[in-house]
């Protein structure tokens, strides 16, 4: 970034700075194109590590980690699985990020932004995808003239037509499958007695983190006891355990009426865990 660009950016910040009590900032723009330009400028102007959460009027949300005008992680997307910064190429990541930025800009206005402290310290190798790479990729995505409007009434009617139970069937199993993208090890077991159904990765047979049947059975009893003690907690539940300091291995557990799934993952992959949970429990899934 050139010195003149920095001075111009600081001047814009000074002119637009106003006192406010609400942490959410409304991003102006009557068209998707204008809002996309604003989102790109916000990424460009974010120098210190921040978690930026963009939320549209219809609930569509995009949460990203930005540092030095670079997107270093994606915590939440409206649909699908968040991009994997460790396995995907820069070109693919730039294209996916451009799509996410375009989607949030095309959602129902107004668009709001909340800027938060990152959950964990930025790793030294988190170089991220630059603002320029995302901007170039956005040039190939044509936006609609009018913002996309979500028909909330239809969504609510569809939800009313089904009971809550079908949404829970196989949820733990689907979490087990979906965690393959970020988990180092996975286990799927019966909720009633902890009987092992599947185990993969570092939790697989003869692997260092494979739990024995006695441990799984005890864990199933503990979960059942927890449910009995806290009857106001409904299923399904996502339980997340993270190491002190936010570095090292974390453990995510999803339990439904029939099964529970456990995934061992890097602590910095918490965003991928939460995004998978949000995707699986979304009413239209």
Task: Note the pLDDT tens digit of each residue in 167-202.
Answer: 335 889 989 998 888 889 999 999 989 999 999 999
Same domain? 7 vs 143: yes
pLDDT band at 254 (very low <50, low <70, confident <90, very high): very high
Beta carbons of 85 and 79 less than 8 angstroms apart: no
Beta carbons of 74 and 57 less than 8 angstroms apart: no
Cα(181)–Cα(178) distance, integer angstroms: 7
Radius of gyration of the chain, Cα coordinates, nearest whole angstrom: 21
Same domain? 125 vs 166: no
pLDDT band at 81 (very low <50, low <70, confident <90, very high): confident
Cα(100)–Cα(161) distance, integer angstroms: 31
Number of domains the chain is built from: 2
User: Which of 97, 119, 150 corresponds to the end of one domain?
Assistant: 150
Residue 212 domain boundaries: 158-281
Same domain? 146 vs 180: no
Same domain? 142 vs 12: yes
Report pLDDT for 280. 85
User: For residue 131, how many other CB atoms are within 10 A of its CB?
Assistant: 22
Cα(48)–Cα(177) distance, integer angstroms: 35
Same domain? 102 vs 180: no
Same domain? 237 vs 121: no
Pairing state of beta strands 111-116 and 183-190? unpaired
Question: Where residue 186 sits, what CATH number does that domain have?
Answer: 3.30.450.30
């Amino acid at each position: 970034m050139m010195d003149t660009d920095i001075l111009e950016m600081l001047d814009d910040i000074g002119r637009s700075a106003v006192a406010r009590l609400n942490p959410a900032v409304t991003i102006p723009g009557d068209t998707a194109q204008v809002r996309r330009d604003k989102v790109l400028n916000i990424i460009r102007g974010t120098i210190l590590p921040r978690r930026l959460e963009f939320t549209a009027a219809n609930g569509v949300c995009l949460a990203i980690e930005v540092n030095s005008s670079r997107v270093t992680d994606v915590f939440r997307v409206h649909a699908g699985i968040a991009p994997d910064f460790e396995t995907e190429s820069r070109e693919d990541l730039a294209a996916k990020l451009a799509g996410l930025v375009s989607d949030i800009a095309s959602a129902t206005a107004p668009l709001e932004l909340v800027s938060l402290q990152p959950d964990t310290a930025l790793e030294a190798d988190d170089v991220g995808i630059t603002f320029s790479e995302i901007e170039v990729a956005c040039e190939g995505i044509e936006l609609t003239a009018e913002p996309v409007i979500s028909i909330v009434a239809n969504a609510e009617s569809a939800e009313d037509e089904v009971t809550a139970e079908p949404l829970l069937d196989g949820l733990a199993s689907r979490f087990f499958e979906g965690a393959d993208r970020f988990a180092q090890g996975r286990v799927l077991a019966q909720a009633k007695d902890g009987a092992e159904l599947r185990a993969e990765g570092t939790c697989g047979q003869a692997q260092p983190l494979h739990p024995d049947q006695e441990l799984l059975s005890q864990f199933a009893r503990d979960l059942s006891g927890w449910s009995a003690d806290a009857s106001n907690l409904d299923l399904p539940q996502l339980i997340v355990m993270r190491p002190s300091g936010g570095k090292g291995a974390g453990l995510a557990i999803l339990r439904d009426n029939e099964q529970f799934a456990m995934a061992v993952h890097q602590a910095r992959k918490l965003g991928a865990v939460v995004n998978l949970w949000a995707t699986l429990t979304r009413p239209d899934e």
